[in-house]
Amino acid sequence: MGLLDLFRKKPSGSAQTAKERLRIIVAQERAQRNTPDYLPVLKREILEVIRRYVQVDSDAIQINVEKDEQQEVLELSISLPTDER
């Protein structure tokens, strides 16, 4: 960086950060919007059961409901800690 650049006003670009964060959160909330109301409770209860056996973080469980014309699929994925067996 040259000396002159120090004096030049650079755009701080905080709007870019705002846009990125919004894109992610809005997408996430939209995906959640059309899921059944019982999902959060279901997730909590499954987490409790898992934790009787393995210590996992609360974000280790992903639940998704996929819909197509024929059926609805409840997709459940749990990532276990690597050192646990």
Please work out the total of residues on this chain that contact another protein, with binding judged by CB under 8 A. Answer: 17
User: What is the DSSP code (8-state) at residue 16?
Assistant: H
d(CA 27, CA 77): 20
Q: Is 37 in the site for another protein (CB under 8 A)?
A: no
Residue among 30 and 52 whose Cβ is closer to another protein:
30
Neighbours of 60 (CB within 10 A): 16
6 sits in which H/E element: helix 3-7
Residue among 14 and 58 whose Cβ is closer to another protein:
14
Interacting residues with another protein (CB under 8 A)? 11-16, 18-19, 21-23, 25-26, 29-30, 33-34
